[in-house]
Homo-oligomer: A and B are copies of this chain.
Amino acid sequence: MPYDPSAFPPFAVTVDLVVLTVRKDALYALVVRRGEPPYQGRWALPGGFVRGDEDLEAAAARELTEETGLRSQALEDQDAGAHLEQLATYGAPQRDPRMRVVSVAYLVLAPDLPSPIAGGDARSARWAPTDTLLGVGDGGGWEAEQQAPLAFDHDQILRDGVERARSKIEYSSLATAFCPPEFTVGELRRVYEAVWGVALDPRNFHRKVTGTPGFLVPTGGTTTRQGGRPAQLFRAGGATLLNPPMLRPEV
């Protein structure tokens, strides 16, 4: 088929963000309340139109800053910023009832924020447990009379984002993206436990993460945030890939 720029069908392109954090030993996602139809009053993932001269990842980073005040350090960047990566693209013809919209979803992993939402136009944004948003624990899905709380196909996007996070912390050091710049082994373990929804043996976990070269770098300090014996503080090392991986227990 020859390329015919004058005859392409018109599409709108948006970015949607799956922003995940760990708080209170559970995985939380950022959602915003929709102020207008369709799905008025329902929760949705933050997002918006890609501008005419804007890169996709730049649009995702811009939306992230607008919604949360977070600065994203896309890929490999060690700074205090959140991790940002492309997740997948959703373009079913009727996913938005008004027009044809193709949405490029991005996944953001952020530490628990001191002030939940410090952003600009985040009118009614909040953190919600992903289990609640996805109806986990009510029998694995939403009942017939019960409506999934998320607008559009955002429940599917969120599901895909959570699964991506769950699998990526197995073979990468990405779990540290959920932690503050300095953290203890116990705090990192609680991240794994929250994201996977399982209990891990603290002793084997300690041996694994401290024994993997480049994963953790001791900062010298100690803390007693959790009660009990003071724990060493670490920051993320340079290693990004874990080999061998952290094994997720069978369910």
Contacts and interface: CB of A to CB of B under 8 A. Distances in A.
Interface of A: 1-5, 8-13, 35-36, 48-56, 66, 86, 88-89, 91-93, 98-100, 102, 104, 121
Contacts of A56: 89, 91-92, 102
B102 A8 contact: no
How many copies of this chain sit in the oligomeric assembly?
2
A251 to B, nearest CB: 12
Contacts of A54: 93
A93 B57 CA distance: 11
Nearest to A54: B93
Contacts of A12: 5, 8, 11
B49 A8 contact: yes
B55 A1 contact: no
Nearest to A248: B243
B49 A99 contact: no
A86 B121 CA distance: 33
A151 to B, nearest CB: 11
Contacts of A8: 12-13, 49, 99
Contacts of A50: 9, 11, 91, 102
Given A36-B3, A104-B89, A9 B55 contact: no
Given A12-B8, A13-B91, A91-B13, A1 B52 contact: no
A242 to B, nearest CB: 13
A66 B36 contact: no
List the 8 shortest-distance A-B pairs measured between CB atoms, nearest first.
A9-B52, A8-B12, A56-B91, A89-B89, A11-B13, A1-B48, A11-B11, A89-B104
